Structure 1
Amino acid sequence: MTVKETIETSLPVAGSASGWPSPTLAWYTVFVLFLAYTFSYVDRVILTILVEPIQRDLGINDSQLALLHGLAFVIFYVVLGVSLGYAADRANRKRIIVISIITWSLMTACCGLAKSFGQLFMARAGVGVGEAGLSPAGYSLLGDYFPPHKRGLALGVYTAAIVFGGGVALIIGGLVVQAVSAHPTINLPIIGATRSWQAVFFIVGLPGLLVGLLAMTLKEPMRRTGESIVSSNRSRVSFLTQFKRHKSSYLLHIVGFSMLSVPFNVTLLWGRPFLSRTMGLSPSQGAYTLGVIMMIFCTAGILSGSALSDRLLKQGHIDATIRVGVIAAVGLVVPLALFPFTTTITPACFLLAMILYFGSFAFGVAPAALQFITQNENRAVMTSLYLLGVSFIGLTAGPTLTGVFTDYVFKDKALVGYSAAIVSVSAAVFAALAFLYLLPRFRKAADQESRLWG
């Protein structure tokens, strides 16, 4: 059975004998996971609001700040992310999600106890450990709640929590920073005298524990490959066998989407400082501006890219997810190249909107693409490798290289826009080439897997 035939046979799912979970339960699961992912990104992104006070109190430069933003997450994710993905393919995914939420929420609060760069780095690494367990289990869970032709939108809504959470973090963070700016030191119960930026970590971290309780209401669905329920006595395909079968497709997918994530993460970390350093906005004004743009245009980008993928998929284009990646990469080049030359706020906001729209356009479909060429027992660990690539290249290398250019090449904080453009344009072009090279290989891999499902 080809992928197109698989899609067509999945259309009358509502009353099918295959017994997909009810739409109500499926979308409730999306809602809970969306909420969890939102909180995870609030906890991750809040650092970008606190750049100036953290640099002042801890005496760190742009390069060190970028390491806190990225490497602190990746350093333990390298080991635990893949291990947790392996566990999600074999154990109860709901329990992994609950434990992950509780872990990163507590570690975000621990960031508020940091008194040095090293302590803050370790606390941020703990946040990364917790967050490493959510998405591999979450994507795998949703893959068993939705049939293929509806999966792109569902995963897109879940992934939209990244940008929604990022926008919420910027807006709430701006409000909190503004509220506590008049009081550099705050006295908290039990803890005592605390810098105001440290208190922000308590404010955004501890409420996540309530989300962990909500996640305990989720249900574990039957595991599926294609349209078929995975039997408990079915022989498993080892991950190594799965990876070797489509090695070039997996590597190009990881490289392409990792490079595509660079412009988004560079903008996420350095967009707000750019608005302050170049446009003269206060930290809170810059946070509001970037937060609103992110919530509107990133959400629109992810949902429209996911909807386009589902539409192309119904039309029989089995490489729909990768086509969306090509559109996103090409759409990024011009606004990224023009952005550092803006001198007033209006054109800067317009270009930021375009960058964040196309920068998020393909990230609802990236995990969905993997599910077309990966059998159920290897989906979570394959997703964890994809997320590892995105974290290492997009979250760490891209923003850190931007900081290095600013500190050691331009040697002027006001020129961070030029650093961001050099890094981001190069990454977008590289992503487009990787996707174009991937298209025929992905079609071949998807057809091969669909025949194995049948």
Structure 2
Amino acid sequence: MISEPKVTWRTHYALGVLAIIYIFNYIDRLVVSILIEPIKLEFGVSDTMIGLLSGVAFALFYTVFGLPVGRLSDRIGRKPVIVIACIAWSGMTMLCGVATSFAMLLLFRIGVAVGEAGGSAPSVAMVSQLYPARLRSRALSVFLMGPAIGAVVGLGFGGWVAELYGWRWAFIIIGAPGVLLGGILALTVKEPKALDDVEDSESETHEPFFKTILILLNTPSYGLIVAAGSIAAIAGYAIGTWNPSFLIRSHDLSLQEAGFLMGVGGGLVSAVGTLCCGAMTDRMTASNSGWQLGTALLGTALSIPFGLLFFLWPDGTAFFLGNMPVPTAFLFYLGFAFFGIWWAVPCFGAMSCLIPAKRLAQATALFFMGTTLIGVGLGPLIVGVLSDYFRVTIGDEALRYALSSCIALLLLPCLCLAIAIPRYRREVDDKATEAPFKPATA
């Protein structure tokens, strides 16, 4: 039998610490996006090389280390892996600020990727263990506000620091808090016990690596969930990386103005969208388990027209915030920011219902491998290559059409989710019938 975890103030505290760490995970990852233009100016590199820095190089090393670290966390515990990873990626972010060449900057960004490979998957697995299934999507939505709030600080604050003190200080100042957060997690948070069935044997807990992979990939709806997230991440990371440059080039905003709008405006709306998605998913799933992925399909489909309107709307000002012009196109981006993140929370929640705790970090790591290798790896690079290609015929508006080309890709995750929903519903409903929950004892 499976016991539901008991939810106390310590549960919420642990979630809060993990959520803050994940915010800084994304701050350190995203800050390079607002620094693209000054980095290009100092080192004299092309958009394709920037795509390599922010995309492929990061993604390859994140992917190579992600699954082994996820497997390690399933064996020795999630908390120690997260602590070491947080301190490591934060230190590497600070070192980016002292890079004296593009090659050195690339090397330090690879270090950030290796560190962050040990943060995301173990954290999702730990949050999933902290809360029962009926509250899990809401808990994950709080945790997964990391990308949205990370955009607020990484783009908004990072752009402000870069404008006043230069891009190097932006890396140093933003990287420093993570070292402290790693210590706070180590000293004040207790890791939850595994919730696997008591009949699970020690040999199953330490099953061979390839056996684990085959079991995960043979779970019918799991492969479709990974595919949906990976393809959605191409558009998500491409847009997140290049949006500030798009506003600077196509709408004549300054570095600080672009960072403020994308970070504070878009980031806060994404955070609200994430929370709404989590609450709606838990509410709808209570009556029909298929809504666990149905909300992901709904949000992703609604984001497509908003994204196209944002990139294709002509230059023009809707209103001013003080002396800062707000482009009319940016109003459509707010709709995209609200719905464009809806694929994440339901997918993570679905995996926590499908996969037993002893494999959950590895399953999550495999999902992150897809979203990172394909999304982070290809998204920024594809846009960089298309921008350089279109520049020959389109000129300064090349980035606009390179970005709008990525929006059409969101039709593919919609298709994957539509196919996955009935399969997921059968798997989860059968599992609930065979292994009902029993209340946890005090």
Q: How far 1:448 moved relative to its partner? A: 4.1
Residues in 1 aligned to 2:267 and 2:199: alpha-carbon distance in whole angstroms: 38
**Which residue number in structure 1 is paired with residue 416 of structure 2?**
434
Question: Please, which of 242, 250, 273 is the counterpart of residue 222 of structure 2?
Answer: 250
| SS of structure 2 residue aligned to 1:278 | helix
Tell me how far 1:260 sits from its aligned partner: 1.8
The aligned runs of 1:385-424 (5 Å cut-off) are 385-411=366-392, 412-424=395-407
Counterpart secondary structure, 1:281: coil
* Cα separation, 2, equivalents of 1:374 and 1:276: 44
Check conservation: 1:328, 1:358, Cα contact below 8 A. yes
Q: Which residue does the alignment assign to 2:334?
A: 353
1:148 partnered with 2:133: yes
In the other structure, the counterpart of 2:38 is 53
Distance 2:418 2:146 in 1: 28
The amino acid of 1:201's aligned partner reads F
1:42, 1:168 within 8 Å by CA — same for their partners in 2? yes
Check 1:282–1:244 CA distance in 2 against 1; reply closer, same or farther (3 A cut).
Answer: closer
Counterpart CA distance in 1 for 2:103 and 2:217 is: 40
Whether the 8 Å CA contact 1:81–1:133 is kept in 2: the answer is: yes
- Displacement of 1:242 in angstroms is 2.4
CA distance in 1, matches of 2:396, 2:113: 28
Q: 1:336 aligns with which of 307, 328, 334?
A: 307
Q: How does 1:100-179 map to 2 (within 5 A)?
A: 100-179=85-164
Match of residue 260 from structure 1: 232
The counterpart of 2:174, out of the listed 204, 218, 225, is 204
| CA displacement at 1:386 relative to structure 2 | 0.6
Structure 1 residues 217-239: Cα deviation after superposition (integer angstroms, max 9, x where no partner): 211111114xx568675844651
Shift of 1:451: 4.8
**Percent same amino acid at aligned positions?**
28
Query: In the superposition, relative to structure 1, how do residues 79 and 266 fare at CA in structure 2: closer, same or farther (>3 Å)?
Result: closer
Q: Per-residue CA shift, 1:48-83, capped at 9, x if unaligned?
A: 111111001111111111221122221212221000
Distance 2:37 2:141 in 1: 34
Within 1, Cα distance between the matches of 2:231 and 2:259? 25
Partner of 1:360, secondary structure, is: coil
TM-score normalised according to structure 1 size: 0.88
TM-score w.r.t. length of structure 2: 0.90
Q: What is the rounded CA distance, in whole Å, between the counterparts of 2:231 and 2:155 in structure 1?
A: 24
SS of structure 2 residue aligned to 1:89: helix
CA distance change for structure 1 residues 431 and 241 in 2, over 3 Å: closer, same or farther? closer
Is residue 2:263 matched to residue 1:291? yes
Q: Is the 8 A contact 2:237 2:380 kept in 1?
A: yes
- Give the Cα separation in 1 of the matches to 2:72 and 2:332: 42
In 1, are the aligned partners of 2:151 and 2:264 still within 8 Å (CA)? no
Residues 111/244 of structure 1: CA separation in 2 closer, same or farther (3 Å cut): closer
Equivalent residue number for residue 188 of structure 1: none
> Cα offset for 1:21?
3.5
CA distance in 1 between counterparts of 2:170 and 2:20 reads 20
Contact 2:82/2:123, CA 8 A, preserved across alignment:
yes
Q: What does 1:178-217 align with in structure 2 at a 5 Å threshold?
A: 178-180=163-165, 196-216=166-186, 217=188
Superposed displacement of residue 269, structure 1 = 1.1
The equivalent position to 1:305 in structure 2, one of 277, 280, 286, is 277
Aligned residue for 1:371? 352
2:269–2:334: 8 Å Cα contact kept in structure 1?
A: yes
Query: RMSD between aligned alpha carbons?
Result: 2.0
Q: Match for 1:98 among 66, 79, 83?
A: 83
Using the TM superposition, name which of 235-244 and 71-80 deviates more.
235-244
- What is the rounded CA distance, in whole Å, between the counterparts of 1:244 and 1:133 in structure 2? 22
Q: Aligned partners of 1:167, 1:130: CA distance in 2, in Å?
A: 22
Amino acid at match of 1:396: G
CA gap of 1:240–1:262, structure 2 versus 1, over 3 A, is closer
**1:326 match:** 297
Q: Which amino acid aligns with 2:296?
A: G
1:400 and 1:175 map into 2 onto residues whose CA distance is 26
Q: How does 1:14-29 map to 2 (within 5 A)?
A: 18=3, 20-29=5-14
Structure 1: distance between partners of 2:235 and 2:83: 31
Give the conservation status (yes or no) of the 8 Å contact 2:82–2:118.
yes
Q: 1:406 to 1:376 in 2, by over 3 A?
A: same
Cα distance in structure 1, aligned partners of 2:429 and 2:241: 39
Offset of residue 152 of structure 1: 0.4
| Cα shift at 1:150 | 0.2
Residues 223-267 of structure 1 deviation map (CA, whole Å, 9 limit, x = unaligned): 114xx5686758446514522541x42221111112222332222
Cα distance in 1, alignment partners of residues 52 and 434 from structure 2: 43
Structure 1 residues 287 and 220 mapped into 2: Cα distance closer, same or farther (>3 Å)?
Answer: same
Name the CA distance, whole Å, in 2 between partners of 1:230 and 1:89: 18
Structure 2 residue identity aligned to 1:109: M
Match for residue 278 of structure 1 among 250, 255, 258: 250
Deviation of 1:449 (Å): 3.6
